[in-house]
Structure 1
């Protein structure tokens, strides 16, 4: 009987050695190289590689075969039992379609915590101090022209929406560095949250109190458009919004309206609804800091994520239960 096959669906930048050290004991490694389209994946690649049991998935594979939506999941052979996704957010995988076919899905939450929290901290500081606009001024030899009055982050109230690993690291850094008061909203309190992180049972309560609202929730149907026109109205006048979660968690038109009215003092964005496209109007706001989804763009985090996803598959082959299971 032939050995199981493990598909590497997407890019591996830093842990190529670990692919063979960790995964090859459990099956033959096959790569997506040379598969330019979804049709080629379905009609050429899959027939050539029967008995795929586990899949390591990176978002880069979507450039060629698209996201793992229901159509793609349904074309996978019945032998597929596990998909280990490289990333904390797994909205590019239709987990309901996987569940219906008995395919377990995992993600890599802890591996992204520090790098993404660092990105959020940069956005927070830049928004308070207008550093993004100030740097553009310096590069254009405009010195301090057109800068609005800035603010210190010290002693302000940080509101975390989605207190997981990333939110927890950001909260600790803001408290330690700036003495910020931390409040958070989750569907339920976190038993592992420190005593100084105060739980708010409703999003409305958090929005009314926070000077900075930082988003760290996954993109699901219930969080799509979570922050819209009503929520911006509920924020303090002069509040700041930070988003390193997913672009679609925010109603972008409502955010632009809040920026135009001045109700929102500033926004720091690393994610957008239609990446890599950034809405043209956002470039016109000097008080908006824009990054091109830099959250985990470090060698250390990328390798940590790659290895974490592989270890999820190792656990799946050893025990029948994938590590960090989300579906």
Structure 2
């Protein structure tokens, strides 16, 4: 009997790939439970999810099931061994609960790199050149806004500081070479894949002091909540710009607003917010701030790549007992993937 795999979210672009990747090796069941309680109930013997070994999920599933928090993870049966999360950021899944339960968690790095980096590039261009103000002025039939030259700048030769030089940060570094910009970065460790034009700063204070633009690309974890706070913001070069396409809670929003109010930060470009979809109305008071409604990967090409990569992680698990995209916590905990591939 083929192992059972659950699809918790609507597959929008990769319908044919579900069949080609999983059709011959798994029984694919699409979750239609209206809420969390009924979802967990269907794992009981005789239920339509009974014996499931793998789960595909993405953030839209939370509208009915909620996030995959500790309560939901602990409610899953012991048969579930792999959760394939569609997304690079996996904060909607309690990874520590998964580890405790013996469930492996994968994400979709790489698939989001180009789209998120181009979003960061747009925010960088908009904030330095202040195109957002200019567009709003034109739409109000006022032509060019007064004083724009006093707050806009060229991009060429400016210093971009990247906080977290993973796949997205690396792609952004490549893109800004078109101007070019000077690129400096800080990560937990020096990235061995970084090209020679990326200068590593072990000391964050030194990095911040030289940044014309700080672009944030760190994942959301308990230790990164409010990471870019009052202290780091005040160590930025005066009149610098902050870009965030990572997660809203990585930046202390109140500290950012204070820095915008007193002019220490000249502008900001934000694609993510602490309480999405709610946006702090105080941010709307700053014309020099460019705001996007979490558009990072909102295009059909990236969405399909993400769906395929998550499905491929399930395929690899079912056929080899392993997956290429285990999230960082398993590596940090030195947890080996030893799962019977003959399911």
TM-score range, shorter chain: over 0.9
Counterpart in the other structure of 1:178: 179
1:39-87 deviation digits (Å, cap 9, x = unpaired): 2212346643211101111111011100000000011111000011111
Which of 15, 31, 38 is equivalent to 1:40? 38
2:4·2:53 contact (CA, 8 Å) conserved in 1? yes
Counterpart in the other structure of 1:18: 17
2:164·2:216 contact (CA, 8 Å) conserved in 1? yes
1:293-316 deviation digits (Å, cap 9, x = unpaired): 000011110000100111111111
Q: Distance in 2 between matches of 1:51 and 1:3?
A: 11
Q: Distance in 2 between matches of 1:146 and 1:85?
A: 47
2:229·2:255 contact (CA, 8 Å) conserved in 1? yes
Structure 1 residue runs without a partner (length 5+): none
1:145 CA displacement: 2.7
Q: Distance in 2 between matches of 1:209 and 1:10?
A: 44
Q: Distance in 1 between matches of 2:3 and 2:259?
A: 54
1:23·1:314 contact (CA, 8 Å) conserved in 2? yes
Counterpart in the other structure of 1:239: 240
Structure 2 residue runs without a partner (length 5+): 331-343
Mapping for residues 153-172 of structure 1, pairs under 5 Å: 153-172=155-174
* TM-score where L is the length of structure 1: 0.97
1:56·1:86 contact (CA, 8 Å) conserved in 2? yes
Q: Distance in 2 between matches of 1:23 and 1:276?
A: 34
Q: Distance in 1 between matches of 2:246 and 2:21?
A: 30
1:95-124 deviation digits (Å, cap 9, x = unpaired): 000000110101111000111111000000
Q: Distance in 1 between matches of 2:41 and 2:224?
A: 36
Counterpart in the other structure of 1:62: 62
1:107 is the counterpart of 2:79:
no
Q: Secondary structure at the match of 1:71?
A: helix
Mapping for residues 190-229 of structure 1, pairs under 5 Å: 190-229=191-230
Q: Distance in 2 between matches of 1:132 and 1:268?
A: 10
2:133·2:145 contact (CA, 8 Å) conserved in 1? no
Counterpart in the other structure of 1:31: 30
Q: Secondary structure at the match of 1:25?
A: coil
Q: Distance in 2 between matches of 1:306 and 1:203?
A: 35
Quote the RMSD (CA, aligned, Å): 1.2
Aligned residues: 324
Mapping for residues 52-91 of structure 1, pairs under 5 Å: 52-91=52-91
Counterpart in the other structure of 2:153: 151
Counterpart in the other structure of 1:125: 125
Counterpart in the other structure of 2:279: 278
Moved more, 39-48 or 201-210: 39-48
Q: Distance in 1 between matches of 2:92 and 2:146?
A: 40
Q: Distance in 2 between matches of 1:91 and 1:139?
A: 38
1:98-153 deviation digits (Å, cap 9, x = unpaired): 00011010111100011111100000000001111111111111222355421111
CA pair 320-44 structure 1, distance change in 2 beyond 3 A:
closer
Q: Distance in 1 between matches of 2:155 and 2:168?
A: 19
Q: Distance in 2 between matches of 1:122 and 1:96?
A: 35
Counterpart in the other structure of 1:5: 4
Q: Distance in 2 between matches of 1:211 and 1:156?
A: 6
Q: Distance in 1 between matches of 2:313 and 2:48?
A: 26
1:20 CA displacement: 1.4
